[in-house]
Amino acid sequence: MTPPAQGGLQLSPLGGWVHLCIDMQRMFAEDTEWRTPWMQRVLPNVVRVAELAPERTVFTRFIPPQRPQQMGGTWRRYYERDRSMTRERLDPELLELVPELARFTPPGRVVDKPVYSPWHGTLDAELKRAGVSSVIITGAETEVCVLAAVLGAIDFGYRVLIVTDAICSSADPTHDAMLEIYHSRYGMQVETVTTAELIEAKLDGALRAEP
């Protein structure tokens, strides 16, 4: 994992923000077909970001179907291959957040989603009603569900901050490539920070509480 160059908040201060924590669930942390080995490595940083304001944290959970036939198109083929990850075979406890993050709910809230993106439901409308204009993103995986969350946030006009040492993948090359793409192609809409830089921004008053 090659960390990119960091510069802290480019457009501080940051007001009206939420922390969108993507799919930090037991089924990705434990011994399943979808295990993400890096998750334990970045988990302490995700916890540190959640600790900044648990009440401003939204945890997403990726929820597979009960069986493949409940999904259409290529999703059905996807779950026919990974049938062990459907809910008819998966221990339901594995759908839960990892314990280190579950303790933040409440006040943090949980949003379930059946696909990669968290934006197909009412999340955007709810955030806009709450005066949210910026999204801080952590979680898994860099080039799958995190990517879907980032692109959706861009489409809806949010300022996006990706915490580079609090996201993870199953593959170094695609993780590194995705971070490079964020820098080279989305520089006007996406900022990258480290956990330490984010904490420093709060201490300096650049991470404001008000919208």
Contact between residue 52 and residue 166 where contact means Cβ atoms under 8 Å apart: no
* 11 lies in some domain: no
Element (H, E) at 111: strand 109-113
* 3 lies in some domain: no
Element (H, E) at 139: strand 134-140
CATH of the domain at 156: 3.40.50.850
Distances (CA, A) of 132 to 15, 16, 129: 8, 4, 8
First to last CA, the chain: 34
- State the residue range of the domain holding 56: 17-203
Which amino acid is present at 31? D
The CA distance from 98 to 46, in Å, is: 11
Phi, psi of 207 (to 5 degrees): -105, 90
* 211 lies in some domain: no
* 143 lies in some domain: yes
Q: What is the pTM of this model?
A: 0.92
The CA distance from 77 to 91, in Å, is: 21
The pLDDT profile of the chain, 211 residues, written as one tens digit per residue, is 444 444 566 656 777 999 999 999 999 999 999 999 999 999 999 999 999 999 999 999 999 999 999 999 999 999 999 999 999 999 999 999 999 999 999 999 999 999 999 999 999 999 999 999 999 999 999 999 999 999 999 999 999 999 999 999 888 888 889 888 888 888 888 999 999 999 988 876 777 655 5
* 146 lies in some domain: yes
* 12 lies in some domain: no
User: Number of structural domains, the chain?
Assistant: 1
| Number of C-beta neighbours around residue 49 at 10 A | 22
